[in-house]
């Protein structure tokens, strides 16, 4: 039984330029204890897709879906109250910038207490002990003193650890990590990722990890979903996608990793994908990626490829979808 089931999810944002679909008809599911990585460039709808799950969409945006269920509960028709009980308890989230994620006016202890009380039915007693336990769990030394610190007295890495402590305080079934390491420096990044990984294994919680770094997902995720312009380009097991990418976009993303680049002998310029993510108000016709694709052909400009099973994965590309059926 899947933990999370999303079918044909579309998120529209109303703007002066008209209604833009930031997330365009995507479907995916997640089983218990699974780590799903979502990767794509900025503005691909990665974050929007996860905000939709938590009902955190910005104003003037709306959500459409055929199915959106979590633990067999229908999120589409759930009351406001039901959704409120769900988020922050069974689904929690950590964000990109840890320094602004904590309320600057309150101590760490006060903010941790809120999460702890939420998990334990507003029981006030013993929160301090539990808070110290949580802080130790996420690798913070001198937890006693830290409880009385204000966020501005701590480093970015420390703040992110505290965010993680707050997120796991309720023992969630699903943790959404929206680029949890982007704002941190490289050594801290590795520590935070290691921490997330060990916590995920320990609690057996499912995780959606959003990143623009496909290399990072290779270590963490069981499955990878590659998004472009709000659509799924390729989705499958991590080994298949990372080691044997088939979609030109996935290949280009992997080629753009500096790690892969350093193996080549002739150092020229870092490989990159030419062009920009399409403006959602002026989407290209056909395949969304075709203006930047190296392997495009006529059909790419005319027809939107469907997401189809191919070679142990789902892929949306005309290269792997022979048009034989339509040639009549």
Partner 1 sequence: MNDTTETSSLKEFSLQFIHHKGALLGFIIIAFFMLVALCANLLAPYASDTIFQNAFRLPPFSEYTHNYFILGTDDVGRDLLSRLIYGSRISLGIGFFTVVLSLSIGGILGLAAGYFGGSIDSLIMRINDIIMALPSVLFAIVIISVLGPSLANTIIAVSVAELPHFMRLMRAQVMAEKNKNYVIISRTMGASHLRQMFTTILPNCLAPIIVQSALGFSDAILCAAALGFLGLGAEPPIPEWGTMLSDARPFIESSPILVTLPGLCIFITVLAFNIFGDGLRDTFDPKLKR
In whole angstroms, how far apart are CA 262 and each of 156, 241, 256? 29, 21, 11
- Cβ distance to partner 1 smaller for residue 174 or 253: 174
**Euclidean distance between the first and the last CA atom of the chain, given in angstroms as a whole number:** 41
Residue 91, burial from CB neighbour count under 10 angstroms (0-12, 13-18, 19+): buried
- Cβ distance to partner 1 smaller for residue 92 or 250: 92
Residues at the site binding partner 1, with contacts judged by CB under 8 A: 54, 56, 59, 84-85, 87-89, 92-93, 95-97, 100-107, 114-115, 118, 148-150, 153, 163, 166
CA distance 154 to 40: 31
Q: Least CB distance from residue 321 to partner 1, whole Å?
A: 39
Q: Least CB distance from residue 219 to partner 1, whole Å?
A: 26
Q: Least CB distance from residue 97 to partner 1, whole Å?
A: 6
- Cβ distance to partner 1 smaller for residue 115 or 238: 115
Q: Which helix (H) or strand (E) is 193 found in, with range? A: helix 186-203
- Cβ distance to partner 1 smaller for residue 67 or 107: 107
Assess contact for 34 and 20: CB atoms under 8 A. no
Q: Least CB distance from residue 149 to partner 1, whole Å?
A: 7
Q: Least CB distance from residue 130 to partner 1, whole Å?
A: 16
- Cβ distance to partner 1 smaller for residue 60 or 297: 60
- Three-state DSSP at 299 gives helix
Whose tokens are 């990722």? That residue is 193
């Amino acid at each position: 039984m899947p933990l999370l089931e999303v079918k044909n999810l579309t998120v529209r944002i109303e703007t002066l330029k008209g209604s833009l679909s930031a997330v365009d008809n995507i479907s995916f599911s997640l089983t218990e204890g699974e780590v799903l990585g979502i990767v794509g460039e900025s503005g691909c709808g990665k974050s929007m897709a996860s905000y939709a799950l938590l009902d955190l969409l910005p104003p003037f945006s709306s959500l459409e879906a055929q199915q959106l269920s979590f633990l067999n509960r229908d999120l589409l028709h759930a009351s406001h109250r039901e959704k409120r009980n769900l988020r922050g308890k069974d689904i929690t989230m950590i964000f990109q910038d840890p320094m602004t994620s904590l309320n600057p006016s309150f101590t760490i202890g006060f903010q941790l207490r809120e999460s702890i009380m939420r998990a334990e039915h507003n029981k006030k007693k013993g929160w301090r002990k539990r808070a110290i336990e949580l802080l130790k769990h996420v690798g913070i030394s001198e937890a006693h003193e830290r409880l009385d610190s204000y966020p501005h007295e701590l480093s970015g890495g420390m703040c992110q650890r505290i965010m993680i402590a707050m997120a796991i305080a309720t023992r969630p079934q699903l943790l959404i990590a929206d680029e949890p390491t982007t704002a941190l420096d490289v050594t801290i990044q590795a520590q935070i990722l290691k921490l997330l990984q060990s916590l995920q294994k320990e609690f057996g919680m499912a995780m959606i990890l959003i990143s623009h770094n496909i290399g990072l997902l290779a270590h963490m995720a069981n499955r990878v979903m590659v998004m472009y312009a709000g659509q799924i380009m390729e989705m499958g097991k991590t080994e298949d996608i990372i080691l044997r990418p088939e979609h030109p976009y996935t290949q280009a993303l992997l080629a753009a990793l500096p790690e892969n680049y350093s193996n080549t002998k002739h150092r020229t310029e870092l490989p990159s994908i030419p062009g920009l993510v399409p403006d959602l108000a002026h989407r290209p016709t056909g395949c969304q990626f075709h203006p930047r694709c190296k392997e495009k052909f006529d059909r790419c400009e005319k027809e939107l490829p469907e997401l189809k099973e191919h070679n142990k994965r789902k892929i949306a590309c005309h290269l792997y979808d022979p048009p034989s059926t339509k040639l009549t």
